[in-house]
Structure 1
Amino acid sequence: MAWTGQQRVERVVEYGGYISIQPRAGYAAEVTESLRRCPTVGENVNVFLKEDVPEAFHYRAHRLILEIVVIAKEGYMIRPPQTAYSVPESVGSYEGNHGFDNTNGRNPDMRAVLYAVGPYFAQGVRAGVVEQVDVYNLLCRSLHLQCHANNGTLAHVEPFFRPGVPLETGTSFRHGVPLGALMFAVSALLFL
């Protein structure tokens, strides 16, 4: 890539299906336009200012999202800046990447499989599409916790549960394990 905007960019996070860029103060528009016009890059990615990211992505309101979001188009991936490869590069033999747009039926290969097993889940249920934003509701419901406001929909995961399982609230898990200990264990597993 011919663009040498290092002094205009503070930080680049992620790679693969998307990256986030934090430009130096006052350079957001310049960096965005440079990426959009860059030969062999601009036509293979969508570049958004944070506030312009499509609502369907649920990826623009959080304080940790950087000012510019670059999303690779289908068939392309974005390499980390320390590699000697072009940005973006055709995925070709790089199978198994994730982070590509799967909203509204796009890129069906980006779908995941959700298995729900436990004392509150119905057996043999095959549900329709469950969005990633619905998983929080599934976890809260299965742990008998009241969900905070979120972008998911409880009705999308309700078919997974046995009929008659009440939605309870409380601070401990069914078998007396303190909820804090359970959440610590789940968090530890996620970071392994």
Structure 2
Amino acid sequence: MDWILPLLLSLSCAAGVPLSRAASGQRNRLLLISFDGFRWDYDRDVETPHLDQLGREGVRAKYISPPMLTMTSPSHFTTISGRWVEDHEVVHNMMYNAKTNLKLPHQKTLTRSEWWDNGVLPLWITAQNQGLKTGSFYFPGGAVNYGGQAVNRVVVEDPRPANETEWKQNIDTVLSWFSEEDFHLVTLYFGEPDRVGHQKGPDHPDRKTMIRLIDRTIGYLRESIARLHLSDSLNVILTSDHGMTTVKKRPEVEELVLNKYLNLVKLNSFEILDYGGFGILTPRPGKEQDVFDALSKAPNLTVYKKNEFPESFHLAKSKRLPPIVVVADLGFNLNSRFIVYVNKGDHGFHNSEMDMKTIFWAVGPDFKKNFLSEPFDSIHIYPLMCKVLQIDPAPHNGSLSVTEKLLLLHGGCQRYRVSVALLLTLLCSLALI
């Protein structure tokens, strides 16, 4: 029977999983982490030893492209659902109703199911329906119900700025869900470096300080994973929702005040136009062309009729978006009526702009080592996560062919994991005869 052990090792390697896990039929787990507003190049001008090590021990993309819109809620829900914004309909950070003029800020939307639950199932619910245990810590969209179903474990985002100690405590909590309660999927969200990017601008020294803090946090995460003996079973994906750019202000540029080009009161019944680089308008009946023509004369922006969106936007089918959408040129904030705008950095601009690109790292037992991927769209993260979790995805717009090359298991190998596990069990039994 001397041939059995080499054969077992060979089959385990072919399956791409540790021998003990292949034989037992266990599946690896996944921790998805988002650092809000982490631009693709933020680690280029700061020493980040832990992120560098993450890249050597796992995979990294040169950058990834968020969906249109390059905003927190729409982008996060595309990542967790694999659907374009026009399909999942979370079209803004604010919850709004153009008919009633309701406008709710981002924080208040986080527990409003009617804003998020539009018939698209996020990964938490799809995984739970296939027997997995899931949790969400601060992650946008995690604290509501989908068709009456809630995520197994939820902690709603605390809007107050957190310190390094609290970040470590959050990591301890999330990892305990894996180590003590056998969770399969957990999503973890951090509100930085978005806050500092808005308040100080992406080029400010405080942004660099924040990236150093994030790097130390990743170091603490990796140390904790090893201490809890999760290294062989837990995959970690680290990503973000959008980038950040410096807002152009007077006296360098003339601020975009759209009320100078059209009478908002007379021509519009609803608008959100003081929110970074993206704005929406509902013209009064019969005034759509007048609004379009007036805004077309304004500098440093592009105005679109919703039904004439470029196909690459993947927004035209949205029932929730108003008829007129405005996208400012990079760095020009959309201001409607001389509203005081204090942000020194912002997003919401065209997702083709490099300042809107963001990050992707991944490490764990299912990922290659020291692998640099070409850029890809964030929508393709969803089928990758389903592959790692070994679940059947819900309908989605991503493609596994884009991200499968990041895995140790790709092509046909993964399909035989269960069969190999059964064969290993049989051979182990024979070895005892």
TM-score (norm 2): 0.32
Identify the residue that residue 115 of structure 1 maps to in structure 2: 361
How big is each residue's C-alpha offset from its partner over 1:17-74, in whole Å with a ceiling of 9 and x where there is no partner? 211222233322221111112xxxx221000000111111222212222211101112
Q: Quote the Cα distance in structure 2 between the aligned partners of 1:134 and 1:79.
A: 34
Helix, strand or coil: the match of 1:166? Answer: helix
Q: Which amino acid aligns with 2:400?
A: L
Confirm whether residue 23 of structure 1 aligns to residue 273 of structure 2. no
Which amino acid is 1:48 matched to?
Y
Q: Deviations over 1:115-159 (max 9, x none)?
A: 223443333221110112223333333333333444433222112
Letter in 2 for 1:156: V
Q: Report the counterpart of residue 166 of structure 1 in structure 2.
A: 414
Query: Structure 1's 72 and 125: CA in aligned 2 closer, same or farther, altered over 3 A?
Result: same
Instruction: Give the number of aligned pairs.
Output: 154
The RMSD of aligned alpha carbons is 2.9
Structure number with larger C-alpha Rg: 2
Quick check: 1:101 aligned with 2:350? Answer: yes
Gaps of 5+ in 2: 1-258, 417-433
- The 5-angstrom pairing of residues 132-151 of structure 1 reads 132-151=378-397
Alignment equivalent of 2:318, drawn from 39, 52, 62: 62
Q: 1:167 to 1:130 in 2, by over 3 A?
A: farther
> What's 1:79 paired with?
335
Q: State, as a whole percentage, how many aligned pairs show the same letter.
A: 27
Task: Read off the aligned partner of 2:272 and give its amino acid letter.
Answer: V
SS at match of 1:12: strand
Q: CA deviation at 1:13?
A: 3.5
Paired AA for residue 49 in structure 1: K
2:264 corresponds to: 5
8 Å contact kept, 1:127–1:160: yes
* Amino acid in structure 1 at the alignment position of 2:294: S
* CA distance in structure 1 between the partners assigned to 2:415 and 2:320 by the alignment: 32
**Partner Cα distance (2:415, 2:349) in 1:** 34
1:131 corresponds to: 377
2:265 alignment partner AA: Q
Aligned pair in 2 of structure 1 residues 129, 28: CA closer, same or farther (>3 Å)?
Answer: same
User: Following the alignment from structure 2 to structure 1, what is the Cα–Cα distance between the partners of residues 270 and 356?
Assistant: 27
The amino acid across from 1:139 in the alignment is: M
Greater share of helix residues, 1 or 2?
Answer: 2
Q: Which residue type is aligned with residue 12 of structure 1? A: E
* Aligned-partner Cα distance in 2 for 1:167–1:16: 45
Contact 1:58 1:151 in 2 (8 A): no
**5+ long unaligned stretches in structure 1:** 86-90, 169-192
CA distance in 2, matches of 1:22, 1:145: 41
Paired residues of 2:277 and 2:331 also in contact (CA < 8 A) = no
Match of 1:69, SS state, is strand
SS in 1 for 2:381: helix
User: Contact 1:141–1:167 at 8 Å: present in 2 too?
Assistant: no
Q: Closer, same or farther in 2 for the Cα pair 1:55/1:137, shift >3 Å?
A: same
Deviation at 1:82, TM superposition (A): 7.1
Secondary structure of the residue that 2:375 maps to in structure 1? coil
Q: Which residue of 2 aligns with 1:32?
A: 292
The 4+ residue runs of structure 1 with deviation greater than 6 A are none
Counterpart Cα distance in 2 of 1:143 and 1:22: 42
- Structure ranking higher on relative contact order (CA contacts 8 Å, 6+ apart): 2
Please state how far the C-alpha of 1:76 moved relative to its aligned partner.
Answer: 1.4
- The aligned runs of 1:45-60 (5 Å cut-off) are 45-60=301-316
What is the rounded CA distance, in whole Å, between the counterparts of 1:154 and 1:81 in structure 2?
45
